Amino acid sequence: MSENQGPADARRPVFAAERRRRILELVRANGALSLRQLAEAVQSSEVTVRRDVRALEADGLLSRHHGGASLPGELSREPTHLQKAQVAAAEKAAIADLAAALVEDGDAIVVGPGTTTLALAQRLTGRTELAVVTNSLLVAQALAGSPRIEVMLTGGLLRGSTQALVGSEAERALAGLRVRRAFISGNGLTAERGLSTPNLQVASADRALAAAAEEVVVLADHTKIGVDTMVQTVPAERIDHLVTDERAPQEELDELSARGVRLHVARL
């Protein structure tokens, strides 16, 4: 080994260690991130970041999953409504503005639980002759003061963390319904698996929401695109529209578009 090679080799592990420390910080702060998001944040290639994630997984610090990384056990952990509300607030507002254009007076729609779907509901309060079916207490509350909107709230078991009703009663309430569009969210969205969530009961309720509609509209900010969580809810082929923001990874959007998903990208 020459004298010139020695210092370079000595620096390389330090750089890798610093990069991995930063990756771990990012995942701890966000819960789960795609490889693309991590690569952009640490200004490195996805190939390098994938290698870093493998090393961190070997040390028991991260868990790898399709297209990304999460903390151990994170794929099965559902963030609370308050925790979700603190992430990408400006993007969610822009997405809600754009999604509201997909709702017409006289429509019958389903609106699922979530911070972005709640923002959508808040933008529908002035609509007329609108029928809204929801399993979200917060969505129902947002629309309760609108005299020209009929709100049907499903029964079911209340999940306090998300203020959503789930379980067999909620699913039975949705089973006989047919509406124009369902506006739903989730914890992750990839072209390969579609929409996903960490909780089995939530996933089952979300599938019932989607099944009640002629068209499925997914509201997902960039932090969810390319992220995969434990339970699939709606496959990409069943999603008719995706409303997202301009920071969403283009490669994943292109793959979703190739599977027939119509893209609506909100500009901040």
Q: Note the pLDDT of residue 61.
A: 85
Say if pTM beats, i.e. exceeds, 0.85.
no
Average pLDDT value for residue range 253-258: 96
Same domain for 145 and 236, yes or no, is yes
The residue that leads in pLDDT, 198 or 30, is 198
Q: Mean pLDDT across the stretch 166-178? A: 94
Are 123 and 44 part of one and the same domain? no
Do 68 and 93 reside in the same domain of the chain? no
Q: Using the 3D structure, point to which of 75, 107, 128 is the last residue of a domain.
A: 75
**For the ranges 31-35, 152-156, 248-252, which has the lowest average pLDDT?**
31-35
CATH number of the domain within which 152 lies: 3.40.50.1360
**pLDDT at 236 (0 to 100):** 96
Beta-carbon contacts of 99 under 8 Å, excluding residues fewer than 6 positions away, are 116, 120, 183, 217, 219, 243, 264
Q: Are residues 69 and 106 in the same domain?
A: no
**What residues have CB less than 8 Å from 184, skipping those under 6 apart?**
110, 111, 112, 114, 117, 195, 206, 209, 210, 216, 217, 218, 219, 233, 234
Residue 92 in tokens: 């969610």
pLDDT exceeds cutoff 80 at 87: no
- Cα–Cα distances in Å, from 15 out to 21, 36, 63, 82, 84? 10, 19, 22, 36, 32
Residue 11 one-letter amino acid: R
| pLDDT tens readout for residues 56-74 | 888 888 888 767 887 776 5
92 and 71 housed in the same domain: no
Same domain, 121 and 200: yes
Q: Are residues 153 and 44 in the same domain?
A: no
**pLDDT over 70 (residue 190):** yes
Domain holding 61, by residue range, is 5-75
Higher pLDDT, 189 or 88: 189
d(CA 7, CA 154): 66
Residue 46 shares a structural domain with residue 121 = no
Read off the CATH number of the domain in which 34 is found. 1.10.10.10
Tokens at residue 177, please? 């319904």
Residues 180-189, mean pLDDT to the nearest whole number = 94
* Residue 173 tokens, joined: 């309430």
pLDDT at 13: 46
Which residues neighbour 10 within 8 Å (Cβ) at sequence distance 6 or greater? none
Which of 75, 94, 121 terminates a domain? The answer is 75
Instruction: Judge if 49 and 138 occupy the same domain.
Output: no
Q: What is the pLDDT of residue 206?
A: 96
> pLDDT-derived band of residue 2, with 50, 70 and 90 as boundaries?
very low
Domain count, the chain: 2
* Pair (126, 248) in one structural domain: yes
